[in-house]
Amino acid sequence: MHKIIDGKAHSRGIRQEIAQGVQQFKQQYGKEIGLAVVLVGDDGASQVYVRNKIKGCEEVGIKSFAYYLPADASQAQVEELVSELAVNDAVHGILVQLPLPEGLDAQRILSLIPVSKDVDGFCESNIGSLCLNRPCLVACTPNGVMKMLEREGIEIKGKNAVVVGRSNIVGKPMAMLLLNADATVTVCHSKTQNLKEICSKADILVAAIGRAKFITADMVKEGAVVIDVGMNRDENGKLCGDVDYENVREKCSYITPVPGGVGPMTITMLLYNTLEAAKRSV
């Protein structure tokens, strides 16, 4: 019998803990915690993400600073704004919403965010610290997955974990986190041979490739823990993940649904990272 991992419930619980931490910080240091969000252009999905991040800040007591730049903003304009936020003591975390409009050098802009304010966990120093298993700000989505596994009491040590996808935002940090938790980790991608065979040996299978219902039942080991990071639309335009949920779930011990699984945890971990960044700043 499979158990559905309820990301919304875990997210609510963690947000309550964050709200308490924010309150304690205010009482102890007499100042607010601030998160700055920079949105360039008018991408619809990005606007929704930014609104949800601001709403999340309100919920836990973090002060949000939202900066909206037009799609034709120059590289110099964006860099100037991020550089100003980098030295602003009221801002403990900086998030530049990706993707940026064509023509802007995202890597150069992100490199201006100090490692101490990199609440997305994307900068080279934080990634390096993660690889060395040192304290750092960790990319929100994979960190959210780890929190869910931990709160469900799922054993990671000694397990075979397979991560399908090697992006810098999810796949690679996910693999590092599992490795740091003493799993034996295999990373698969579009060039992997015998993908079905490798996946079918996984005790913990994380799908993060952005292809609707790609992971089918014959790729899943009986009793596996299946984590679906995907967010896609199926042939009927309905929201779905990278896992063929209806057919896979009967083989699992645990599975995350889409929506309502990993998704709610991502913004929650952004708030978590902002609180962590504030604590480290004093």
Assigned domain for 4 exists: no
- Burial category of 63 from C-beta neighbours within 10 Å (exposed 0-12, middle 13-18, buried 19 and up): middle
Assigned domain for 183 exists: yes
Q: Are 112 and 82 in contact (CB under 8 A)?
A: yes
Assigned domain for 17 exists: no
Do 109 and 166 reside in the same domain of the chain? Answer: no
Do 161 and 256 reside in the same domain of the chain? Answer: yes
Catalytic residue among 20, 24, 42, 97: 97
Do 144 and 240 reside in the same domain of the chain? Answer: yes
Do 145 and 257 reside in the same domain of the chain? Answer: yes
CATH number of the domain within which 78 lies: 3.40.50.10860
Catalytic residue among 20, 31, 43, 53: 53
Q: Please give the pLDDT value at position 235.
A: 87
Do 110 and 161 reside in the same domain of the chain? Answer: no
Which residues fall within 8 angstroms of residue 210, CB to CB, at 6 or more apart? 165, 230, 231, 232, 242
* Angle at which helices 44-60 and 263-280 cross, to 10°: 60
Do 96 and 160 reside in the same domain of the chain? Answer: no
Q: Please give the pLDDT value at position 45.
A: 86
Do 160 and 78 reside in the same domain of the chain? Answer: no
User: Counting every residue, how long is the chain?
Assistant: 282
Q: Are 130 and 177 in contact (CB under 8 A)?
A: yes
Residue 204 CB neighbour total at 10 angstroms: 25
Q: Please give the pLDDT value at position 36.
A: 98
Assigned domain for 83 exists: yes
CATH number of the domain within which 220 lies: 3.40.50.720
Q: Is 118 a catalytic residue?
A: no
Q: Is 97 a catalytic residue?
A: yes
* Angle at which helices 7-29 and 140-151 cross, to 10°: 110
Supply the pTM of this predicted model.
0.95
Assigned domain for 8 exists: no
Do 93 and 145 reside in the same domain of the chain? Answer: no
Assigned domain for 238 exists: yes
Do 157 and 91 reside in the same domain of the chain? Answer: no
Q: Which residues in the chain land under pLDDT 70?
A: none
Give the domain range for residue 188.
140-263
Q: Please give the pLDDT value at position 188.
A: 98
Catalytic residue among 118, 120, 203, 244: 120
